Amino acid sequence: VQIAPGAVVSSNVVIGSNCLIGANTVILSGVEIGNDTIIGPNCTLAYSIIGSNVKIHNGVRIGQDGFGFAQNENINLKMPQLGRVVIKDNVEIGSNCSIDRGTGPDTILGEGTKLDNLVQIGHNAVLGKNCIMVAQSGVSGSTHIGNNVIIGGQVGIAGHLKIGNNVRIAAKAGVMKDIEDGMTVGGVPSMPINDWHRQTIILKKLIKKRKNGK
């Protein structure tokens, strides 16, 4: 194991063989890290179990409180965040991603999943195996995403949804309802990709007619 200058490893941390901990990274008490895992500089890990052969790029935050509040007489009351983040083997997490710990159930990233830079994963969210999330996309709390899902850049996914296996979500889509296995969707709100293309073409024709005074 190599620990670069300025890194802080708290008590009760377990680090496997052949790991690299980057400069100024902070690993808080209770974190477990598997073998052959690389953690870049300036990362923060808390309340997490990290698998083997995981690559975490610079500036990643894992295990901070999720965004959970309850309103009571116009006061936002913070909900206790008691879960963990569980990251399976062979996951790669791009720079400046943020992965919240669970409220009670854990936040989970499945084996082989890859996150681009600036991805946000909310509390209790579950991503299956071999998923891909492109930059600036986000998943709200308690949404479950199946295996082999590809999520384009700047996609927003609402909370408490179920996204099936082998789903494709086009860039900038806004997902507000469940998606069945194998579907490809796009648009805001998201819809089957062919419907989105038809809608775009119809709107373009309507605008052209109006410009032409017809």
Long-range residue pairs from 51-54, CB within 8 A, at least 24 positions apart, any chain: 51/87, 51/88, 51/89, 51/90, 51/91, 51/111, 52/16, 52/89, 52/90, 53/89, 53/90, 54/87, 54/89, 54/90, 54/91, 54/92, 54/93
Inter-residue contact 68 to 105 (CB < 8 Å): no
Between CA 97 and CA 56 the distance in angstroms is 9
Inter-residue contact 152 to 172 (CB < 8 Å): yes
Q: Give the residue from 162, 192, 157 showing the smallest Cα distance to 176.
A: 157
Q: How many residues are listed for the chain in this entry?
A: 214
Q: Give the residue from 33, 25, 30, 34 showing the smallest Cα distance to 10.
A: 30
Q: What is the dihedral of CA 176, 182, 187, 193, to 10 degrees?
A: -150
Catalytic residue positions, numbered: 123
